[in-house]
Amino acid sequence: MRGLPGLGCLILLTASAAAEERKTFLLVDSEEIEAARRKAERHDWARKTLDALIVRAEKELAAPVNLPDRGGQWPHWYSCKRDGARLKTVSPVEHACPVCGEIYKGDPYDAVVLYGVHMRYSHATRDLGLAYRFTGREAFARRAAEILLGYADRYGKYPLHDRFGEPKTGGGRIMAQTLDESVWLIPVAWGYSLVRETMPRDERERVEKDLLAAAAEVIRAHRMGIHNIQCWKNSAVGLAGFASGNQELVKEAIDDPDRGFRVQIEKGVTADGLWFEGSLGYHQYTMSALWPLAEAARRAGIDLYSDRYRTLYDAPIALSLPNGDPPGFNDSAGGNLRAYDALYELAFARWGRGEHGRVLGYTDRDSLEALLFGAADPPKGPLAPAASILLKEAGYGALRTPQVTAVMRFGMHGGGHGHPDKLNIVTFGAGKLGGLDPGSINYGVPLHGEWYRSTIAHNTVSVDRRVQRNVDGKLEEWRVNDGVTRLAASAAGAYPGVLLRRELTLEGSTLRDVFECASEEEHVYDWAFHVPGRLSSGLMLDRVDGPLGEQNGYQHITSVYHGKTDDDWWAAWELGGTRLTLRMKGALGTEVFVGEGPGRNPEDRTPLIVVRRKARRTAFEAVHQFAPVR
């Protein structure tokens, strides 16, 4: 007679049963769904997020499914050609400029509206799938399946098109480029995994073959190297593979030696943790692209959460201004650290680092990531660092005291999204932004290239009214001692035969700024500084007709006044309760221009000064001081 199983066997049997009961839905599993439900019972922030999810799903359930009969277009087209302002949608066929009032009709504007419709259905698929898992209501699953099957029927019939309407590789069927096709596909694949088991086999096969695999093939045909776009493409292809059981897609997305996830982290992330394109906007965009594949792989037993990957989450904190804003360099200025809330919810869950968790205390915690992965009680503490930090390989230095933060961009150019602004600085003091980097606007309008990618639009030096060449700079000194931080850097190739060197010294509320320009030949050196406040100066200035110049950004500097001085002088900006005073040391032959240029939003006009000298060698010596207005 056989005996009863021992205690160890009982434990093993129980564990096996539990493992069988735990179900994985690509980016979340049944235990996390149950944990999120308990979270919502105990915490208002989680309850509100869950309630909002169910409301969105109910709204999709109440509306008929009307998938567009064609694909969408590039969102960067959706701006006024004249002034660069983003258009307002009056109707699906009317698009108004909020500045000049001009009405745009037809494509590509109508098709940009369809971009939004397609994205709505992508998110709806995910929301309906999650709502089904939280509530068990089969109506949610059926509606998600209806959307998925509708796209499966249409996908191959949508014409392949790029942002110029041409049927070329790099374009998509749902969208006008493989980037947007990938962003669209990720929530679709997740939504499918959440309702897959509710669908009959023939319907699953249609979705997996005619939608997931078909979209993955369109995306795979466009092969890129180390780039934020390829990170999105990897996640889309990998999630399509995980959701449909296609290991070939998974392996390519993770391990391709030229473009897979692992090599993106190895080659795309600097030793400092900054994405190589040097823009915190694209840095955040890359972080958003990477996590779905990392999380899906984790649930399949593949650990992609390396230390190098983690540093991507460290860099935005390292460069943050005191209020959480980014300095704003290069294309896509980036968002406040609070806008990273969903990313840091997952980061803190996976790495448990306090600096990641502290960000969450400054957010509303209203993201799906907070509900599904977020800690109940993350640590408290400051949003931004108090200490000066150097990102040597990337070429950024953040000088900090309790009163002032100054950030200089001196190193790597940043590839296709880099700006010609070597030795550019951004400043912040007494709670206000001082020196402003303009960032970028929609790429499809002329103003982006004419102003936002000009040198004079930045807080650096232009030579002979030309645009800097795309070069990397060099760190010369970094010293932090007894509350004083000094950063010196140079750029030898920004202009042929000219050496540019800038040295910043920060102590207390005072920033000393020396910008040296040296050449064997005579040049016109223009030192520019832009501040979003009301400008005044002790100089006598006369009005100048027309803009400051005709090209290279100078044509967009208007309301120009001009003066001359050989003596020390000052300018000041009122910043809503804060005063930034700039004291310039005198030099022979100094000309000063005051004017306005486009700001972060092209609808805004930002006051600026341009200090001009004609010489072989000169040094612009300035002292920046922030103080509250009493």
In one letter, which amino acid is 65? V
User: Cα–Cα distance between 327 and 472 in angstroms, integer?
Assistant: 19
Residue 20 has pLDDT above 60, yes or no: no
User: Cα–Cα distance between 529 and 608 in angstroms, integer?
Assistant: 6
Helix (H/G/I), strand (E/B), else coil: 428? strand
Residue 245 has pLDDT above 80, yes or no: yes
The reported pLDDT for the residue numbered 269 is: 97
User: Cα–Cα distance between 216 and 293 in angstroms, integer?
Assistant: 14
Is 614 contained in some domain?
yes
Is 325 contained in some domain?
yes
Same domain, 374 and 468: no
Its pTM surpasses 0.75: yes
Measured in degrees and rounded to the nearest 5, phi and psi for residue 202 equal -65, -35
Residue 209 has pLDDT above 90, yes or no: yes
- Rounded to an integer, the average pLDDT of 61-68 is 97
Same domain, 576 and 533: yes
9-13, 317-321, 592-596 — which is least confidently predicted?
9-13
- The mean of the pLDDT values for the chain is 94
Is 6 contained in some domain?
no
Is 5 contained in some domain?
no
The reported pLDDT for the residue numbered 36 is: 98
The reported pLDDT for the residue numbered 64 is: 96
Would you place residue 333 in the very low, low, confident or very high pLDDT band (cuts 50, 70, 90)?
confident
Q: How far is CA 630 from CA 422, 574, 576, 578, 623, in A?
A: 36, 12, 11, 9, 21
Same domain, 101 and 118: no
CATH of the domain at 136: 1.50.10.100
Is 7 contained in some domain?
no
Is 230 contained in some domain?
yes
User: Cα–Cα distance between 229 and 240 in angstroms, integer?
Assistant: 17
Query: 143-152 burial by CB neighbour count: b if 16+ within 10 A, else e?
Result: bbbebbbebb
CATH of the domain at 487: 2.70.98.70
Task: Locate 128 and state its tokens.
Answer: 């309906």
- Choose one of 385, 411, 433: the last residue of a domain: 385
Same domain, 139 and 203: yes
The reported pLDDT for the residue numbered 210 is: 98
The reported pLDDT for the residue numbered 586 is: 97
Percent of the chain with pLDDT over 70: 97
pLDDT tens, position by position, 452-496: 999 999 999 999 999 999 999 999 999 999 999 999 999 999 999
Would you place residue 414 in the very low, low, confident or very high pLDDT band (cuts 50, 70, 90)?
confident
- Rounded to an integer, the average pLDDT of 359-375 is 97
Is 121 contained in some domain?
yes
Domain limits for position 358: 269-385
Same domain, 423 and 452: yes
- Choose one of 88, 107, 126: the last residue of a domain: 107
The reported pLDDT for the residue numbered 21 is: 67
- Choose one of 385, 410, 436: the last residue of a domain: 385
Instruction: Domain count for the chain, please give it.
Output: 4
Same domain, 103 and 117: no
pLDDT tens, position by position, 70-87: 999 999 999 999 888 999
pLDDT tens, position by position, 335-349: 999 999 999 999 999
Would you place residue 438 in the very low, low, confident or very high pLDDT band (cuts 50, 70, 90)?
very high
Same domain, 524 and 545: yes
**Residues written for the chain:** 630
pLDDT tens, position by position, 95-144: 999 999 999 999 999 999 999 999 999 999 999 999 999 999 999 999 99
| Residue that wins the pLDDT comparison between 9 and 473 | 473
Same domain, 472 and 393: yes
Beta bridge partners of 626: 580
The order of strands in the sheet holding 88-91 is 88-91, 94-96, 103-104
Task: Name which of 496, 531, 339 is nearest 425 in CA terms.
Answer: 531
pLDDT tens, position by position, 287-297: 999 999 999 99
User: Cα–Cα distance between 328 and 277 in angstroms, integer?
Assistant: 13
Same domain, 53 and 127: yes
Same domain, 159 and 298: no
Q: How far is CA 181 from CA 72, 129, 186, 205, 238, in A?
A: 10, 20, 9, 21, 14
Is 203 contained in some domain?
yes
Same domain, 154 and 121: yes
Same domain, 575 and 621: yes
- Rounded to an integer, the average pLDDT of 27-56 is 97
Element (H, E) at 570: strand 569-574
